[in-house]
Structure formats: C-alpha cells, structure tokens
Amino acid sequence: MPDSGCQLQTGNTLGKQAGQPPSCPTPADLQISQNTGHSALLSWVSDADAFELRYFPTADTQNMQTLYPTASPAELTSLQGDTEYSVCLRAICSAGDTSLTASLQFATPVTCQAVSNLSVDSISSSSALISWSKSDAGNYQVRYSLADAESASTLSTTDTSILLPGLEAASQYQVSVRAICGEGDTSRWSSLSFATQCAAQSLPIIESFEEGSMPLCWEEEILVPNSGSTTYWSVSSEESTDGGYSAVFNSHNLPEDASARLYSPEFEANHAIRLSFWFTHTIGSNLEEIIIAGYRSTTGQETVLDTLSIASDFTFHSYTLPDVTDGRIYFEGISQYKEDMYIDDIRIEGLFGTDLAVMGIDPINPVSVVESVPVSVRLQNKGTETYSGSVSLSLIDPNGNTVATEQIEVEELASNDTLPYQFKADFPIPEYGTFIASVQIQAEGDENPANDKASTEIEHYKPFSTPYSTSFAYGDSTLDYIAVQDLNKDDISWSRQPAAGYQCTYSSKEASNDLLILPAILLRPGEYQIMAEVGGVDACFPENAALYMAGSTENMLQDSALAKIENLFAPSHALTAKVAVEEEQVAYFGILAYSERDQMGLNAISFSVIQQVYSIQADICQGETYLFNGQELSQSGTYADTLVSSSNMDSIVNLYLKVHPTYLFELDTVICEGSSLAFGGITYTESGDYEKTHKTAFGCDSTYLLRLEVLPKPEPPVIEEKTENGTRMLISNCEDGNQWYKDNAAIEGENESRYILTSNGEYYATVNNGCVESDPSNIIKITDVANDAMNAAAGLALYPNPAGDKVNLRIQHGSILRVEIFSANGKRILTEENLSAQSWQHDVHAWASGLYIVNVQTTEGNSSFKLQISK
C-alpha cells in the first residue's frame, strides 16, 4: 500500500554510506482489528523490540499522534468516526538503525450521523443565516472562514440554525457543520460556500478592469433580452486606453434593440460628485447603437447624463452631478447588431470646495540588499477652490506604524494643480519580501478624507548569483526586477517585446536618453566578464548604447561607462567589459540608449555576468563523499577545477570542502518526584538513561543522551530535646534543610539543626531537599519554659534587641541573681553571679554580629532570651 503522507525518516544506519539501504527489517503484515470508530487495534509481524508508530486522518496530516510500542499489537485511540486514517510504522533495531516505513489506511465506521440539508439564507454584506435538518445529536459545531483563509472561527449551538456575524462584504465564505453525539464522538463535516453581498462603498471608485474579469460588485441588469447570446457586458483586452482591459458592450453578437445595464458598486454620497470615463465605438458611425450614461439613487430616482454613439477612437467624458445621495452609476448599452462599444478608466469622485488629495506615491524600483528607500509623493488639489494651509504627511509601514511625520505649508495651490514632495526620512526595509508603504495626510480645512491616503508596493529581493544570463524571454522570473528610467521624461522608453528582448522605441521627434536597469547581482571577490548584446532597430539610422555599473539604481550614470558603442547600425553588437571585485558587493548594471537627434530605437538582446574565478563552499558529514572534478572527496580541504566554455570564457572553480563530525551530547538532569521532563517529544517521570538522535544544521547526526535522576520526597527528621551549658534546645538528626515549626506555624529564619527553646508550645521540624518538603518529624511538647508567663509577671525585659553598643536587663518584681550569655553554637561568652539587682547592663560593642542566648536567673524563676547583635 502507498505511503500516503508517512514522512518518517528512514534507514541511514550510523557508519554507513549515504544511499545504502537500512539493515533493520521493515515490519510486515500490518492489520487493523477491533475498529470501534473511537479506537482500533494495529498488529504486525517483526522481530524488533522497539517501534515508532504514527497515525493521523489522511486528509489532516497536522493532527498526528505518535506512539513508541515495544511489541505488537498497539491500540490506536482518540479516533473519529467516519474518517479515513493513515498508519505509519517502522522498527528501531538500535540507535541510528531504523527500518523503512510500512503503512496502511483504514476507515472508521460511522458513530455519529452527519447533518443534512445544509443551506444558507438571509445573506447580507455582513451576516448570513446557516440552517440544517435536526438530527439525534442535539449539539452542533459550526466552523466558518473566508474561502482562502488558513484559520476558521468556531461556534457551538443546540439549535438547527445559526447567524454568522461580522462577515466581510463581497467575500466568498466556506462554512462547515458537524453533529456532536458525545464526548469524543462527532460526525464528519458537512460543508457549503456562499458569497456575502456588496456594501455601499466610499468614494472615490476607480475602475480600469485590469484584473481581466468583471470586478466584484459591478453588476449587469438585462433590460431587453435576446434568444441567442447571453453575453451583454464583459471585460475585454481588444480595446483599451493603455493596452490593458476595458468593459465592452458586445453589440456585434446581439440583435437589434437588445439592451443591458452595467451598474457600478453602490456608493455613499451626500454632496456633488464627478463621473469621468473614456468611450469608443469600433464602428464609429452608427447613431442608433448607443450607450446611455446615468445615475440611479437607492430610492430608484434616475438621471440621464449623456447618450454616447459615434467615437472611432477613445474620447474622454466628464460630468458633474450636484447634491447626489447614495446610489450607483450605470451604463446602458442598446444594440443594433453592429460593432462593440467600450468604456474604460471610470472614476466616480466626490466634489468638495477644499479637497487636498494624495494622488499617488512615485513608483519605487525593485531593490536588493538595502536598509531603506526614499519616498516621494504627489499631492493634488481636487477641490474647486485654491488651497492654502498646513499639511501633515505621515509615512506608514505595513503594520500601521508611523515611520515619520513631516509638516509643510502649501500656498495657493490652484484647483487640479499638483505638488510633489519627497520625505526627508527614508522608508525602512527590514528583510526580503514585498512591503507596502503608505502615505497619509491631514490637510487644514480638508473636507474629504477619503482620498488622503495612498500606498505603493516595494519589492526587496535577494541579489542573483553568478553566473547570470538572460535573453529577456518570457518566463524568466528575474525580469520581474528590471527597472526602467525615462531620463529625458518624454514618455518613450524601454519596453518588453512580445517574444523576447527589450526595445527602446523609435521616435522621429525625440532624442533618446533611457536607462534599462538589470536585476541586482551579488559579486564576490574575483574577476568577471560582463556582456550586453544590443542592436539598432533601423539599419539606416545610428543609435548609441553604453553599459554602466553602480552600487544602487540611483545616479547610475555618475561613474564612467564600462563600455560604449556610438553610431550603432548593426542588428547585433556586444558591449563587453571585465570587472575586478576585491570585496563582496551588490551591483546593478544598466544599458543606456542615447542619441543627440532622432531616436531610431535600440534592442536589448541578451545580458550576462560570468565569474571567471569563483569559489564553492561545501559541507558534508563524516562518512559521506562529495563528487568534484570526477573525484569522490571525503577529507576537508581546498580543491580546484577548470570549466572550459565554448565561448573561450573558461572559469576556475575553487572548492572549499569541510567535513563535519557527528556529535554526542550528554545531559545530566535532576527533577523532583511528581515532576516530569519533556525530552525528544516524550515526557519522562522516572530515573534512567534516555537517548534521541537529531540532525545538525549540516544534516549530520547528533545524539543526545539524557541521564535523569528523580529526587524522592525526603524522610521526616527525628528531633530530641537537650540542655547544653544551661540552654534548652531541640536538635534535628538532619544537618541541612531543616524548617522548625511551633504550634503548626513555621518559625521564620529557623533552618539550622538546632533550635533554642524560649517559650512553651508544640514543636516539630521538616526537611527540604530542594524539591519537596518532608512530612513532619515527631512532636515535642514544651510546658515548663517559664519565659512567657514569668516574664510578664515579673516584668523581666531584655533591651534593646537587636543591640549594637550596650544591652540591658530590668525586672519590676524581684531581683536579677545571675546572667549567662552563650554564642549560637553553645560557647559560653559571659557569666555574672551574685547580682541581686533590678537592672543590669553590659557593653557589647566589641562583640561580633550574630545570635546569642541570654540565660537569666531571678528570684521569680529562670528565663532565656535570644539576643541579636547587629553592627
């Protein structure tokens, strides 16, 4: 049975040459049994004792589950009913030695019936009602998304209908519904698609039909049908103002008086508007074959603007409609079975007294290996009044972040006049790809914000490596990055030819000065042969050509030309140059067509950049070989070869070969009992040695060895009471990690193995090994430490505590007879006897900082204090 999506890496045994089949036998006789719809049993035949098993829905390879059984059979769980599954199994004979993959497919039985009669209704521009027939399930899941979206929204319901909210207007949606019969038991999905309606659009509406098909929300209404052709309005490339597409009323296929309207999208308006377009009629002389241009409001009120008939070439038409409300523009074609009529470059724009607009961002040539590009924009006064005022211009990146905001003052810009502006800040280019740069303006007094933003696409591409050559043929993707500069601004420049090549077009009136910029080329240190094949269009009149090289597409002609040909008559001639490159760089090459009088035209036939000395960096793994110059190389080193060309452009190739070793990484890790560690896609909870093999960046094996130690919960300590040097204390049998408790509350800071008793209570201890705390020790109850009650009754106090210079004792009832002070480790520091005093003081300024125990004997009893000395 075929693999069907099984992507397990197979075979290559450590130490064997690449391409040699694995020695580990492939499991055989795969069988499925006990297939309940939610689980199944997989059995097989193999002598191995370790396996890797993967299974997944055949139509959903992302939902894959992996098992590591040690013997046949293995249970496949969490299956869905009524679903085809793929199973992939391979044996693991030893580390790095695995078999080829055995696979099979099977289908689970239906456990939950799919919904039926799925339908959509009440479609608007932002919502749709989905319905289906009631089933025994009672619970349903609904999933919906845009037709080309990678993710979907999900809803749950107990009803048999649901309203999908928040949809995008004029968009195609995919919706699926499935029944939920129980936990883990669902039906297969039932699906349908639908399109939301168009929403009213903001002006301006600009349409040139360049997509080659009727745009969304442009609708046809047949007024007088015919019994033959059903094509009234369509999009055609036969006639156009710019060589592209236009809308056509197909009169030549329609009988007399057949008519249909083409409606624009509905637009929002509460002001005057301007409609403009270009019109042509290919017969150019029939007065009865017409197109009526008009306006229709949303309430049905219609206004006829013009009746168009004779126009043998495209003619421009413009109309102003005052005080327009929401509505649509229409073009009504009426046929006389003559010739087709065309409409192109339709613009529906709002008219305002004060309206400063962004007409567009100047095109930015494709660029390579740059960090930023300059941006220029054109502003136009679209209002009916002369504009003067402050304008804020913002440069915006694809994420909507403002790159720069700059202010200008506009003085007396007349209606329809334009104003160019170049940003002082450049637009940043973070990486390779296509980026959208936008410009947003805020103009003082502007009444129409709809045209205050424009965008342009910036193509940032990786430079092409050598050898590079092109004959400018269609299908050559590198030509997407060619740029043209019309240096003399005569609108006559290089253009791509239908078959192959570029041509700087002939003109009897203009001199030529036009630059064809080739895609960026990455040049590494070495010598290069550059050749551009060009030819004159007219053998009777000369043309001039030059070849340039520069580091950017700006100011390419500031350096001297690499090569020139003047008074070129021949249909083919080569511009050639040799270039020495010392440091790696990105270079642009340009072919300049120039003349001092009549521009007779120049053809660009081919272009090439060939490195005559270049290097190859290659990486292989230990045990592999690299074929070079007829030899299989297995050692790191530098190797050379000469490539012989029929055009005498031989190249020397230097190979720098590096052989990479395999690696063994050892990881010693400790975790706590009850914790887990994920390693190689598997979760471990027990101590042991675990091994996984992965590929390095060079494709070589790296083996990872995990030595895992799980620390158990420590045993509880044992505590006992002792008296040392007259000090009563509790002692734990654990030297480290102790925590002492009194009356079930942790005693802050008491973590040593000894605890000095200063008050009555129930005491115990725990130990912590850094992971987890032990159970409590035995409990010792202390009842005969007189500190608390006796101190209160006698008014016995030690102060200050902490002490720095002197420490004091006082008693209100009775007398102080004896004072002993010990260090925390039990060393006697001080003894004073026969005091018979109500107060006592001692100088401790020379004592080391730390904890001390003060034992006091009074006529009322004995007491102990903890004294903290702090400097």
Q: Determine the Cα–Cα distance for residues 64 and 756; give it in Å rounded to an integer.
A: 61
Which tokens belong to 771? 């992971």
Torsion of CA 682, 685, 687, 693, to 10 degrees: 10
264: pLDDT strictly greater than 80: yes
Q: Determine the Cα–Cα distance for residues 56 and 86; give it in Å rounded to an integer.
A: 6
User: Do the domains at 28-107 and 119-195 have one common CATH topology?
Assistant: yes
Confidence at residue 15, expressed as pLDDT on a 0 to 100 scale: 34
Task: Find out whether 763 and 782 touch, Cβ atoms under 8 Å.
Answer: yes
637: pLDDT strictly greater than 80: yes
**In the structure, what pLDDT confidence band is assigned to residue 825 with cuts at 50, 70 and 90?**
confident
- Of the listed ranges 20-24, 56-60, 354-358, 769-773, the one predicted with least confidence: 20-24
Identify the CA nearest to 135 among candidates 117, 156, 109, 154: 117
Within 10 A of 307 (CB to CB), how many other CB atoms are there?
13
Confidence at residue 2, expressed as pLDDT on a 0 to 100 scale: 42
What DSSP assignment string belongs to 36-66? -SS-EEEEEE-S-S-EEEEEEETT-TTS-EE
Q: Show me where the domains of the chain are located.
A: 28-107, 119-195, 201-350, 356-460, 468-611, 614-660, 663-711, 713-784, 786-871
388: pLDDT strictly greater than 60: yes
Task: Find out whether 867 and 855 touch, Cβ atoms under 8 Å.
Answer: no
237: pLDDT strictly greater than 80: yes
Torsion of CA 633, 635, 636, 639, to 10 degrees: -40
Q: Determine the Cα–Cα distance for residues 312 and 340; give it in Å rounded to an integer.
A: 11
**In the structure, what pLDDT confidence band is assigned to residue 524 with cuts at 50, 70 and 90?**
confident
For the domain 356-460, what is the CATH superfamily, name and number? Immunoglobulins (2.60.40.10)
* Topology, domain 119-195: Immunoglobulin-like (2.60.40)
Residues 698, 699, 700: CA angle, nearest 5 degrees: 95
Kind of pairing, strands 201-202 and 267-268?
A: parallel
Mean residue pLDDT across the chain: 86
Cis, peptide link before residue 800, omega less than 30° from 0: yes
Task: Specify the CATH number of the domain 28-107.
Answer: 2.60.40.10
Q: Which residue has the tokens 């006091």?
A: 856
Pick 201-350's CATH classification: 3.40.50.720, 3.30.930.10, 2.40.160.210, 2.60.120.200: 2.60.120.200
pLDDT tens sequence across 86-140:
999 999 998 878 999 999 999 998 888 889 999 999 999 899 999 999 887 889 9
pLDDT (mean) for 276-300: 84
Confidence at residue 828, expressed as pLDDT on a 0 to 100 scale: 83
pLDDT (mean) for 218-223: 92
**In the structure, what pLDDT confidence band is assigned to residue 600 with cuts at 50, 70 and 90?**
low
Question: Which of the listed ranges 224-233, 586-595, 615-624, 822-831 does the model predict with the highest average pLDDT?
Answer: 586-595
- Of the listed ranges 85-89, 275-279, 296-300, 854-858, the one predicted with least confidence: 854-858
Confidence at residue 704, expressed as pLDDT on a 0 to 100 scale: 84
Q: Determine the Cα–Cα distance for residues 376 and 489; give it in Å rounded to an integer.
A: 17
- Of the listed ranges 625-639, 641-655, 680-694, the one predicted with least confidence: 641-655
Q: Determine the Cα–Cα distance for residues 170 and 153; give it in Å rounded to an integer.
A: 18
Torsion of CA 350, 352, 354, 359, to 10 degrees: 20
Q: Determine the Cα–Cα distance for residues 418 and 347; give it in Å rounded to an integer.
A: 18
**Higher-confidence position of 364 and 247:** 247
Q: Which amino acid is at 339?
A: E
pLDDT tens sequence across 681-703:
788 888 889 888 878 777 888 88
41: pLDDT strictly greater than 90: yes
Q: Which amino acid is at 7?
A: Q
229: pLDDT strictly greater than 80: no
Which tokens belong to 15? 């130490």
Q: Which amino acid is at 366?
A: P
13: pLDDT strictly greater than 80: no
Torsion of CA 164, 167, 173, 178, to 10 degrees: -20
17: pLDDT strictly greater than 60: no
Encode 340-388 in three state secondary structure.
CEEEEEEEEEECCCCCEEEEEECCCCCECCCCEECCEEEEEECCCCCEE
Pick 713-784's CATH classification: 2.60.40.10, 3.20.20.60, 3.40.605.10, 1.20.120.10: 2.60.40.10
248: pLDDT strictly greater than 90: yes
Task: Find out whether 679 and 690 touch, Cβ atoms under 8 Å.
Answer: yes
**Higher-confidence position of 19 and 272:** 272
Pick 786-871's CATH classification: 3.40.50.300, 3.90.870.40, 2.60.40.1930, 2.130.10.10: 2.60.40.1930
pLDDT tens sequence across 406-418:
999 999 999 989 9
Cα-based distances in Å from 170 to 44, 195, 217? 54, 6, 7
Identify the CA nearest to 391 among candidates 369, 370, 406: 406
Confidence at residue 602, expressed as pLDDT on a 0 to 100 scale: 80
Q: What is the DSSP letter of 792?
A: H
Q: Which amino acid is at 789?
A: A
pLDDT tens sequence across 535-591:
876 656 677 889 999 998 887 888 899 999 887 766 788 899 999 888 889 999 999
Backbone angles phi, psi at 449, to 5 degrees: -80, -5
Q: Determine the Cα–Cα distance for residues 66 and 45; give it in Å rounded to an integer.
A: 19
Q: End-to-end CA distance of the chain, in Å? A: 83
Identify the CA nearest to 432 among candidates 475, 472, 481, 473: 481
Q: Determine the Cα–Cα distance for residues 309 and 318; give it in Å rounded to an integer.
A: 16
Pick 468-611's CATH classification: 3.20.20.70, 2.60.120.200, 1.20.1440.230, 1.10.10.10: 2.60.120.200
pLDDT (mean) for 292-316: 90
Confidence at residue 3, expressed as pLDDT on a 0 to 100 scale: 45
Identify the CA nearest to 260 among candidates 343, 373, 379, 355: 343
Q: Determine the Cα–Cα distance for residues 194 and 198; give it in Å rounded to an integer.
A: 13
pLDDT tens sequence across 660-680:
888 777 888 888 887 888 887
Q: What is the largest CA-CA distance in the chain?
A: 139
Q: Which residue has the tokens 């040909």?
A: 565
Within 10 A of 477 (CB to CB), how many other CB atoms are there?
7
Confidence at residue 135, expressed as pLDDT on a 0 to 100 scale: 80
pLDDT tens sequence across 704-716:
888 988 888 889 9
Collapsing DSSP to helix, strand or coil, 794 comes out as helix
The structure's pTM equals: 0.44
Q: Which amino acid is at 861?
A: G
List residues bridging with 346 in a β-sheet: 207
pLDDT tens sequence across 159-213:
999 999 999 998 999 999 999 988 878 888 899 999 998 999 888 899 999 999 9
Q: In the sheet that 780-782 helps form, which strands lie side by side, from edge to edge?
A: 745-746, 738-742, 761-767, 780-782
Confidence at residue 614, expressed as pLDDT on a 0 to 100 scale: 64
pLDDT (mean) for 45-73: 91
Identify the CA nearest to 575 among candidates 585, 589, 587: 589
